[in-house]
């Protein structure tokens, strides 16, 4: 997948920009606050309809502007795909999604046209923080891998919200009907997460060995869900909902189901969070992102876009070199503050970023 054009209009620190990076690695270099991450965020917004660092779309509109637009054209094996997003300051106006020149009725239509994997210093949260960060990682990845996952998740979250609302009323009569629906909605989410984790584990383990460079350090990733082993997730979900009904009514929310899922991470068989050093956690997070890259590459038959935000400066030269070699031929946008950081990355192009402007 190659970017043919990335356009920003009144997006964060940019008033108007067109970026047409060549194949291979494009380095974006500039001081703190210059606007490097803003560019990667714009790509992420076009791929997934949301920012990778905020859930408040408005923050991305350039200060003082009513609206902001980003547009990304990529060339893929099957031809050109053009996606775009327009955001509005006015809370009554919903964001508009464009796919190949037409307004999309649903957010799901955006998924899978342009795909990306972003690496950033915040990835450490994947290892260090709670289950939510790991669920989000799976959700972002699987939504890009197949649109049906995004729709399945949307359905599940919608039914969950309604069941939770019902629990607050204390009215039991409608509960069996909602249990049934929630169980049916949970099944595809669980199946796809389970399958993805199985494949991610193989790749992430290999990447960890290679980047870490120590053959006795094994990294493993495992889907952790109340429904992990279920041959029939819908049936098991229904049983779980029945068993937790009293608890749910007392707490007034649903305590059982894939919205509580996690991904278990182990280093040499020990829980990563309690056992691993900072550097080992970083390598684990990096390996998970590289595995996500592999999963998208395998399922789409071509590499997604790679967004590498400030990741080289945190790796020692050996690990840096190994990371670069893993990226292979994919098109990558790589940010750094110090030109010394990308030595060894063999960039096809170096762009300087300064206060919302780009120059060679």
Ligand X SMILES: Nc1ncnc2c1ncn2[C@@H]1O[C@H](COP(=O)(O)OP(=O)(O)OP(=O)(O)O)[C@@H](O)[C@H]1O
CB of 33 to ligand X, least distance (A): 4
What gap in Å lies between CA 33 and CA 337, rounded to an integer? 10
Site string for ligand X, 318-337 (x = CB under 6 A): -------------------x
Interacting residues of 10 by C-beta distance below 8 A, sequence separation 6+: 16, 61, 62, 65, 67, 68, 69
Q: Is 120 in the site for ligand X (CB under 6 A)?
A: no
Could you tell me how many residues of this chain bind ligand X (CB under 6 A)? 16
Q: Is 32 in the site for ligand X (CB under 6 A)?
A: yes
CB of 336 to Mg ion, least distance (A): 10
Q: Is 36 in the site for ligand X (CB under 6 A)?
A: yes
Helices (H), the chain: 36-48, 125-128, 131-145, 147-169, 175-212, 233-243, 245-251, 272-275, 278-300, 317-327
Sole binder of ligand X in the list 1, 27, 62, 142 (CB under 6 A): 62
Q: Is 38 in the site for Mg ion (CB under 5 A)?
A: no
Which of 42, 96, 100, 104 lies closest to 76, judged by CA?
100
Alpha-carbon dihedral sign for residues 242, 244, 250, 252 = negative
Q: Is 12 in the site for ligand X (CB under 6 A)?
A: yes
Sole binder of ligand X in the list 16, 22, 33, 103 (CB under 6 A): 33
Q: Is 34 in the site for ligand X (CB under 6 A)?
A: yes
**Contact assessment for residue 110 and residue 335, using Cβ atoms and an 8 Å cutoff:** no
Q: Is 297 in the site for Mg ion (CB under 5 A)?
A: no
Which of 148, 70, 149, 152 lies closest to 114, judged by CA?
70
Please identify, using beta-carbon distances, which residue of 37 and 201 lies nearer to Mg ion.
37
Q: Is 49 in the site for ligand X (CB under 6 A)?
A: no
Which part of the chain contacts Mg ion (CB under 5 A), choosing from 34-42, 97-105, 127-135, 285-293? 34-42
**Contact assessment for residue 287 and residue 204, using Cβ atoms and an 8 Å cutoff:** yes
Please identify, using beta-carbon distances, which residue of 1 and 27 lies nearer to Mg ion.
27
Count of beta carbons in the 10 Å neighbourhood of residue 302 = 16
List residues binding ligand X (CB under 6 A): 12-13, 30, 32-38, 59, 61-63, 310, 337
């Amino acid at each position: 997948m190659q970017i043919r054009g990335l356009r920003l209009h009144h997006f964060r620190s940019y008033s108007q920009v067109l970026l047409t990076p060549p194949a291979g690695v494009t380095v974006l270099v500039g001081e703190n606050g210059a606007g490097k991450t803003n560019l990667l965020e714009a790509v992420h917004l076009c791929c997934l309809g949301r920012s990778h660092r905020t859930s408040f779309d408005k923050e991305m509109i350039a200060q003082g502007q009513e609206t902001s637009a980003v547009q990304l054209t990529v060339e893929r094996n099957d031809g050109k795909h053009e996606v775009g997003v327009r955001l509005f300051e006015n809370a009554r106006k919903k964001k508009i999604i464009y796919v190949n020149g037409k307004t999309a009725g649903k957010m799901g239509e955006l998924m899978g046209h342009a795909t990306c994997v972003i690496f950033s210093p915040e990835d450490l949260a994947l290892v260090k923080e709670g289950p939510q960060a790991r669920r989000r990682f799976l959700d972002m990845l699987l939504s890009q891998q197949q649109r049906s996952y995004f729709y399945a998740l949307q359905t599940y979250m919608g039914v969950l919200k309604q069941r939770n609302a019902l629990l607050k009323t204390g009215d039991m009569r409608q509960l069996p009907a909602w249990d049934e629906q929630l169980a049916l909605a949970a099944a595809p989410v669980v199946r796809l997460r389970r399958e993805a984790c199985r494949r991610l584990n193989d790749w992430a383990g290999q990447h960890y060995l290679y980047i870490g460079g120590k053959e006795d350090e094994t990294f493993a990733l495992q889907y952790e869900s109340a429904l992990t082993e279920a041959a029939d997730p819908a049936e098991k979900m229904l049983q779980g909902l029945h068993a937790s009904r009293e608890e749910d009514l007392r707490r007034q929310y649903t305590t059982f189901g894939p919205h509580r899922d996690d991904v278990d991470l182990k280093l040499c068989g020990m829980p990563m969070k309690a056992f691993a050093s900072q550097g080992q956690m970083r390598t684990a997070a990096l390996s998970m992102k590289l595995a996500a890259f592999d999963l998208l590459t395998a399922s789409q038959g071509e590499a997604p876009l790679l967004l590498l935000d400030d990741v080289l400066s945190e790796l020692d030269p050996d690990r840096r070199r190994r990371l670069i070699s893993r990226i292979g031929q994919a098109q990558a946008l790589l940010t750094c503050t110090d030109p010394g950081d990308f030595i060894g990355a063999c960039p096809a192009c170096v762009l300087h970023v300064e206060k919302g402007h780009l120059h060679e």
